[in-house]
């Protein structure tokens, strides 16, 4: 009897320890855009505000994971905070399109079963990442675009706002600068250089999470690129380009010049390298971001993690707003040389 009790106590102690070990594997990594981000271009106040928002997003996402919620919940909790913050090009604070409006893109993917959801060009849904989640959970489709996507999110009960809700003075100024340059050139739409000069100040947001059951999820949300025209859709809502998650390899969220990220299927390429070449996530991201993309002028970066909780934050620009949180360590960073 005594032996049985002792054995049971040892067993339950062992199980509790195993559960603790599992829990300590939870991890979250986020980004708030990559680009020409230099210390001399940011005031101390801007830097502090951005870091605070990134920290809040990390804390919210990590808390969801620590509470035992799944990886998608961690991703959504983090991204929602960044969408609501005016400092990032997603949700409130999104860039302006050529006609001076906002069209937002977002996606989410689950590594346990490769299910995914995305919206492109929504104009009235307050939190596009929630719409992407609804597409994944409550529709037979992977991507919905334009007014149909807004209608769907409304029928799912998501909060709708006026398009002007996404306005910020900072983004309007960037739009005006590109507009003036484009008109002076009498061009139909802005050149890549003019767009990038405006765009690469603050960017897209994303998160990748590992939950206590070892499942990965990744999500990305953006206003796209300043002065985008004709219903342009970037990489962020494109599964495989801006977002990818597969428990067999890794989860990735990207930010940068979307046209390159689509053509080089950046997010899924990194995961495919991990899976088929049997290399680490860091080497895979280096190969894609520093070699493939850099050699063709594709500016940007990625965040990601693998099922063991190894985290990467890899970029070929001067900076990337970024941060991660694991049991033993947490950091929020901006510039390339930190």
258 makes contact with ligand ASP (CB under 6 A): yes
Cβ nearer to ligand ASP, comparing 61 with 206: 206
Residue list 86-115, contact with ligand ASP (CB under 6 A): 89
Pattern 145-184, ligand ASP, x by CB under 6 A? ----------------------------------------
CB–CB of 314/26 below 8 Å? no
**C-alpha–C-alpha distance, residues 314 and 283, integer Å:** 10
222 makes contact with ligand ASP (CB under 6 A): yes
Cβ nearer to ligand ASP, comparing 217 with 254: 254
**C-alpha–C-alpha distance, residues 60 and 41, integer Å:** 28
Alpha helices in 88-223 (DSSP H): 128-138, 146-155, 169-184, 192-199
Alpha helices in the chain (DSSP H): 2-23, 44-66, 71-84, 128-138, 146-155, 169-184, 192-199, 258-263, 266-277, 281-286, 294-295
314 makes contact with ligand ASP (CB under 6 A): no
Strands 300-305, 243-245: pairing kind: unpaired
Cβ nearer to ligand ASP, comparing 167 with 235: 235
Q: Which stretch binds ligand ASP (CB under 6 A): 65-73, 125-133, 250-258, 310-318?
A: 250-258
Q: Which of 204, 255, 314, 318 is catalytic?
A: 204
DSSP 278: -
Strands 143-145, 116-122: pairing kind: parallel
Active-site residue 168, yes or no? Answer: no
255 makes contact with ligand ASP (CB under 6 A): yes
Q: Which residues are catalytic?
A: 204
Binding site for ligand ASP (CB under 6 A): 33, 89, 199, 203-204, 222, 224-225, 234-236, 255-256, 258
């Amino acid at each position: 009897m005594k032996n049985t009790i002792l054995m049971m106590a040892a067993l339950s102690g062992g199980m509790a320890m195993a559960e603790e070990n599992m829990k300590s594997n939870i991890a979250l990594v986020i980004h708030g855009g990559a680009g020409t981000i230099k210390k001399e271009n940011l005031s101390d106040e801007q830097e502090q505000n951005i870091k605070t928002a990134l920290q809040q997003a990390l804390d919210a996402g990590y808390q969801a994971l620590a509470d035992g919620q799944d990886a998608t919940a961690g991703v959504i909790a983090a991204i929602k905070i960044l969408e609501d913050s005016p400092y990032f090009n997603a949700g409130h604070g999104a860039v302006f399109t050529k006609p001076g409006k906002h069209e937002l893109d977002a996606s989410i993917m689950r590594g346990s079963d490769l299910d995914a959801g995305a919206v492109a060009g929504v104009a009235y849904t307050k939190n596009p990442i929630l719409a992407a989640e609804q597409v994944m959970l409550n529709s037979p489709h992977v991507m919905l675009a334009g007014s149909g996507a807004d209608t769907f999110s409304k029928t799912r009960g998501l909060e709708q706002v006026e398009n002007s809700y996404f306005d910020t003075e900072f983004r309007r100024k960037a739009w005006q600068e590109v507009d003036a340059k484009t008109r002076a050139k009498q061009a139909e739409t802005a050149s890549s250089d003019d767009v990038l000069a405006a765009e690469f100040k603050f960017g897209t947001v994303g998160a990748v999470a590992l939950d206590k059951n070892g499942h990965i999820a990744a999500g990305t949300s953006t206003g796209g690129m300043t002065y985008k025209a004709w219903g342009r859709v970037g990489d962020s809502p494109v599964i495989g380009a801006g977002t990818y998650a597969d428990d067999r390899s890794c989860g990735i969220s990207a930010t940068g010049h979307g046209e390159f990220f689509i053509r080089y299927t950046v997010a899924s390429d990194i995961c495919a390298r991990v899976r088929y070449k049997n290399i680490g996530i860091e080497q895979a991201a280096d190969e894609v971001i520093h070699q493939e993309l850099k050699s063709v002028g594709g500016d940007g970066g990625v965040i990601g993690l693998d099922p063991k909780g190894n985290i990467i934050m890899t970029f070929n620009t001067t900076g990337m707003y970024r941060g991660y949180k694991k049991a033993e360590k947490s950091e929020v960073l901006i510039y390339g040389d930190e």
